[in-house]
Amino acid sequence: MADTKDYPSNRYVRTVVGRIAYKDWEFRTTFSSTGTGWIEATIPVINSETGEPATFSPITMPLLMRADDNWERSIVNGVFEFCQRLELHELNELFTYRGKRIYEPHRKLGT
């Protein structure tokens, strides 16, 4: 793993994330006092209970960057993986069989 002094600056990370577009989602980055990067997304969704449009914000996840020769690629891949997780969550939440959600991600264990 690379020494932290080799990590890209917060400004660089924000610049790369600012160039990413997907649907009408909004992305931003935040950084903890220890330098951990977080990706935040604001996304319009359909509320699975009411069927009405809703906006979720912020949805956060640590920005996964792999020590790499190409930090730009690593940052973009991290945001892409974040989007995949959010899309899978929505698919699980809205997918129905015979009118019932069978992959409900909010279901508690054993229910």
Q: Number of folded domains in the chain?
A: 1
- Residue with the larger pLDDT of the pair 6 and 35: 35
pTM score: 0.83
Lowest mean pLDDT among 66-70, 78-82, 93-97, 101-105: 66-70
Mind listing the pLDDT tens digit for each residue in 11-43? 999 999 999 999 999 999 999 888 788 999 999
- The answer to whether position 83 is within a domain reads yes
> How, if at all, do strands 37-46 and 26-31 pair?
antiparallel
pLDDT (0 to 100) of residue 83: 95
Domain membership of residue 61 (yes or no) is yes
Task: Indicate whether 108 belongs to any domain.
Answer: no
Alpha-carbon span 49 to 22, nearest angstrom:
25
- Answer whether residue 106 is part of any domain: no
Largest CA distance in the chain: 54
Domain membership flag for residue 41: yes
109, part of any domain = no
Q: Is residue 69 part of a domain?
A: yes
Structural domain harbouring 61: 4-101
In a domain, 48, yes or no: yes
| pLDDT tens-digit map of 61-70 | 988 777 667 8
